[in-house]
Amino acid sequence: MGIRQTEGRKRLYDSVLDTVGDTPCIRINKIAPSHVTVYVKFEAFNPAASVKDRLALNIIEAAERDGRLKPGQTVVEATSGNTGIGLAMVCAAKGYPLVLTMADSFSVERRKLMRFLGAKVVLTPRAQKGFGMYVKAKELAEQNGWFLASQFETSANADIHENTTAREIMADFEGERLDYWVTGYGTGGTVSGVARVLRAERPGTKIILTEPANAAIVSSGYTNTRNEGHQPTESHPNFEPHPIQGWTPDFIPWVLQEAIDKGYYDELIPVPGTEGIEWSRRLASEEGIFTGISGGSTLAVAMKVAEQAPQGSVFLVMLPDTGERYLSTPLFDGIEEDMTEDERVISMSTPSAQMAAE
């Protein structure tokens, strides 16, 4: 095989926002069972490196179209990180001030990324969980006349996945088998939007939904209360803190309720965060695919299902983001900053090591 060549995209872009979407489906070559084929849809290829870039862009543009967002108006939203980073990118490109509320339990690099992109970040106590940061965003919007992005309720969320993520999957697998599609949930926009299309156009594809084992709020059977605007009015009693950042806030979002009510998934499988960390590390070290704990957790569930799947089955697994926003989390526990003993042995094995010692 000769040297690889590229041809360019054969277009010029007017804005970074025009590069959102069209993320690749990549085959897993080493760590999947040999009797199945597994692809991952790697959302880190979005410009701000997560699936939430799609949501962030459509929330703002939908509000611009119908007049809910005025020129120069401040945008405010509660976020565990990825939506906030996506909104910060969109608001920077479009010129809107942005204030984000986030529990102080989420990774430090997330708040730094949002601030680097020009947003202000208001931290809320971790004891108040996701509901606390949600309430703070609502209060700030009501008090200041700011535009509340409402990622957990807005129809703009699932709609963008129906019109982009799902269409990309349909195009990439045109004429090909697709037996299983596996995803987790945060707001629920990905599963609700993509499932609308899969149920209609690929009804033979089984949809596997997953959630943290110690925050299995959907499988609990209890739905938290909501107000007339579909906003949660309580923290879900079955929620416990978990390491899969971006997944499963401590309430069932209205956007996700569509998938629950319409039976948009065939199985709901819980996964421990430790397994997500293990599979994220394997993806990186054995496949060269660098995703976060959420992506590793989705793959962990796919691997469990794959073990019992029929010969020749084809899987597509959603990888929501990059691993770089997990540097201060348990995902990187044990990854040394200084040289390990093995690395020191390698370093000392050449003549220049003796020169440095003199």
Question: pLDDT tens across 166-201, in order?
Answer: 999 999 999 999 999 999 999 999 999 999 999 999
239 vs 194: CA distance, rounded Å: 26
pLDDT at 132: 92
Contact partners, residue 100, CB within 8 Å, separation at least 6: 76, 77, 78, 79, 84, 87, 88, 114, 119, 120, 121, 122, 137
Catalytic residue ranges: 52, 294
Condensed to tens digits (0 to 9), the pLDDT of residues 226-273 reads: 999 999 999 999 999 999 998 999 999 999 999 999 999 999 999 999
CA distances from 261 to 183, 186, 233, 258, 348 (A): 17, 17, 20, 5, 63
- Whether residue 315 is predicted with pLDDT greater than 70 in this model: the reply is yes
Query: Cα 318 vs. chain centroid, distance in angstroms?
Result: 8
Condensed to tens digits (0 to 9), the pLDDT of residues 87-114 reads: 999 999 999 999 999 999 888 999 999 9
Structural domains in the chain, CATH included, are 16-48+160-332 (3.40.50.1100), 52-148 (3.40.50.1100)
Q: From start to end of 213-322, where are the E strands?
A: 267-271, 314-319
pLDDT at 356: 60
Average pLDDT, the chain: 96
Mean local confidence (pLDDT), 117-136? 94
Condensed to tens digits (0 to 9), the pLDDT of residues 38-50 reads: 999 999 999 999 9
Instruction: Give 199's Cβ-side CA count (13 Å radius).
Output: 15
- Whether residue 129 is predicted with pLDDT greater than 70 in this model: the reply is yes
pLDDT at 2: 92
pLDDT at 130: 87
* Torsion sign, CA atoms 182, 23, 328, 91: negative
Q: Where do runs of H (alpha helix) occur along 67-186?
A: 82-94, 108-116, 129-144, 155-160, 166-172
Q: Are 178 and 76 in contact (CB under 8 A)?
A: no
pLDDT at 160: 98
Which is higher by pLDDT, 1 or 8? 8
- Whether residue 357 is predicted with pLDDT greater than 90 in this model: the reply is no
137 vs 45: CA distance, rounded Å: 29
